[in-house]
Structure formats: C-alpha cells, structure tokens
Amino acid sequence: MHECTPTHGDILALSGIMDALDEGLLIVGPDNRVVCINRHLQHLLAIDGNALFGTDADTFVRGTLIPRICEESGGAEVLASLSDCSGAADILCTLRSPGGGEERVRCSCRTVREGPFRGNRIIRLSSNLQADSIADTPILRGNGHGRQRQIEEIL
C-alpha cells in the first residue's frame, strides 16, 4: 500500500480502500496540492505517486495526465473542470497507456462541499465499457450532488 501525505490523516487511514478501487483516483486538497494518488492511477500513468504528494495539482495534471489524453478537447475539458471548483464534470476520453495502447475512460471531477474533506477535489478515471463513442456520451455539467454524496460516504 502506498502512503498518502500526512496533511489529511483521515485520507491516510483510507488509503487501503482507495488502493482497492479498480479506477484511478486523484485527491487534490483545498490548497491545490496533491493529497493522494491511488495505486490504480499510478499504474495507469506509470508514475511513482509517493514522489508527487504535496506537489501543485495543476503542474501534475498538465505535465502527467493531460499528455496522456488523446483528444485535445478532452484535455481542455479536464483542465477547465479542475479550475472551476463550483461545478462537476464527466468527460469521456481516450487515455494513452505507457505501453502505447489506448483505453476509453470517463474522467469525473467533483468538489467535496460538506464534511471534514470540504474543499477537496476528487478526480476519478474509470474504464468506460458502456459507451461506443464520444458522441454517444456527452460531457455533463451540473451540481453532481447525488454522486458527490456517494463519494463522500465512501471517504
């Protein structure tokens, strides 16, 4: 199991659960610093997440995540959703793997609005096996309260 930054002790306690997920998870603190990168996301991006804890999230996303997104518009949407803390976004895109393969993923961005993790942003990359094409699944923006509550309950 990897270690999360001690800035958020409760997240550290949940790192085993986050590592068990079969989707990539990036948690960004209210200070825009990387708080946690689970094992699956480390594998997807071929990175050593431990070395990235506490780094600037924008720098990490621009330098590591965005270059792996095949569609230029998908990368732009991810950047826009990260800088717009008020909304939520679901973006369907193709992620280039370290080995050169490609995988369809859904990138969702949410901001925690309540509780002890208020102000943290959760970026989730999950396999999208249901959609046949980007045109079949539009980019969704909204308040995301239902899904956000589910994620908060897990955390």
Q: Find the CATH number of the domain harbouring 124.
A: 3.30.450.20
In a domain, 90, yes or no: yes
Contacts of 78 by beta carbon, 8 Å cutoff, 6+ apart? 61, 65, 66, 69, 89, 91, 93, 107, 109, 123
In a domain, 16, yes or no: yes
Q: Please, are residues 43 and 19 in contact by the beta-carbon 8 Å criterion?
A: no
In a domain, 3, yes or no: no
In a domain, 104, yes or no: yes
In a domain, 4, yes or no: no
In a domain, 18, yes or no: yes
Residue 130's pLDDT band (boundaries 50, 70, 90)? Answer: low
Q: Look at residues 92, 105, 89 and name the one whose alpha carbon lies nearest to residue 144.
A: 89
Give the count of domains, the chain. Answer: 1
Task: Give pLDDT tens digits for 28-85.
Answer: 999 999 988 999 999 888 888 777 888 999 899 999 999 999 988 888 888 887 776 5
In a domain, 35, yes or no: yes
In a domain, 2, yes or no: no
With 0.95 as the threshold, say if the pTM is over it.
no
Q: Quote the domain boundaries for residue 137.
A: 9-154
